[in-house]
Amino acid sequence: MHPKDGNNDKRRRASRRRAPEATRLALVEATVDLVRASGVHGTTVDQICTAAGATKGAFFHYFRSKEDILEAAILHWCRERAEGYGRDLGEETDDPLVRLDRMLDGLAASVRVPGEKTACLLGMVAQELAGSNHRVRAVCEQMLDGWTDLVAGLLAEAKRRHSPGTDFNPHEVAWMLNSLWQGSLLAAKTRQDPELVASNLVHARAYVSGLFGVDSPKQNSRKSREVSSTPGLLRHYLENH
């Protein structure tokens, strides 16, 4: 039963041969995709291997356990998203409210990508494991903290620049936005309606605008779906100031 006298190896493992970094990356990215679609327990190591065009041997060569690759997948996912935010935010010298606005635009746009599923790896893993796996929970918490700190920083700077009519705690508001974002993805997935995310983000914007003292312009609920095409409320505020 030796390796089939190996003249023709039927499936050519994704046209990749001895490419350490590529294999590892393929495994991690497959994990991200599969877990986002089916959850942690709903994804098997074998599925990951098949999707990555690798074998169990390769898998356990790079990762000591399923939990390990999960952690790697979370880090990979967050690093990727962070890069996206970096692009969305634009110049650091820009007004923090404009930057936040662009970030929300980016988020709204991210659920509109055609083939893309509306699910955040972080939220899914946290929901499934936070109650039972302390280590994974801690990793998720750290990642959520990262996003919140970023937004809280923007809000804090905005508070300094413009002196808002209402006092507020930037961290609290940032956590509220983060929670809303996660909940929106959950609800949108359940309803199979990505537009729900956009709609919720409109209200999030309106709330932040309200904090900075601008009257929310009359919301036209028919048009509210076209978020990313309209100038954000925050931008609107700044332009008339």
- The site for a second copy (CB under 8 A) is made up of 36-42, 117, 119, 123-124, 126-132, 137, 140-141, 144, 165-169, 172-173, 175-176, 178-184, 186-187, 189-192, 196, 199-200, 202-204, 206-207, 210, 215-216, 218-221, 224
List helix spans (H) across the chain.
20-38, 45-52, 56-62, 66-89, 96-110, 121-129, 134-161, 170-191, 195-211, 233-239
Kindly state the smallest distance separating residue 13's Cβ from a second copy, in Å: 27
Contacts 24+ apart (CB under 8 A), 200-206: 201/104, 201/107, 201/108, 201/227, 202/227, 204/104, 204/177, 204/180, 205/101, 205/104, 205/232, 205/233, 205/234, 206/233
Measured from the CB atom, is 65 or 219 closer to a second copy? 219
Measured from the CB atom, is 26 or 152 closer to DNA? 26
The residue behind tokens 């979370």 is 74
When asked if residue 51 is in the footprint of DNA (CB under 7 A), the reply is no
38 makes contact, choosing from a second copy, DNA, none, with CB < 5 to 8 Å by partner type, with a second copy
66 makes contact, choosing from DNA, a second copy, none, with CB < 5 to 8 Å by partner type, with DNA
81 makes contact, choosing from a second copy, DNA, none, with CB < 5 to 8 Å by partner type, with none
Kindly state the smallest distance separating residue 218's Cβ from a second copy, in Å: 5
Measured from the CB atom, is 58 or 158 closer to a second copy? 158
Q: What is the number of other CB atoms lying within 10 angstroms of the CB of residue 28?
A: 22
When asked if residue 57 is in the footprint of DNA (CB under 7 A), the reply is yes
Which position among 29, 33, 34, 45 is part of the footprint of DNA (CB under 7 A)? 45
Distance in angstroms (rounded) separating the CA atoms of residues 100 and 152: 10
Measured from the CB atom, is 133 or 228 closer to DNA? 133
How many of the chain's residues bind DNA (CB under 7 A)? 30
Contacts 24+ apart (CB under 8 A), 157-163: 157/96, 158/95, 158/96, 158/97, 158/100, 158/212, 161/95, 161/96, 162/97, 162/212, 162/241
Kindly state the smallest distance separating residue 154's Cβ from a second copy, in Å: 16
Beta carbons of 214 and 237 less than 8 angstroms apart: yes
Measured from the CB atom, is 12 or 191 closer to a second copy? 191
CA dihedral 170, 172, 174, 175 (to 10 degrees): 160
Measured from the CB atom, is 60 or 85 closer to DNA? 60
Q: Which residues bind DNA (CB under 7 A)?
A: 1-4, 6, 9, 13, 16-20, 23-24, 41, 43-46, 54-58, 60-61, 64-67
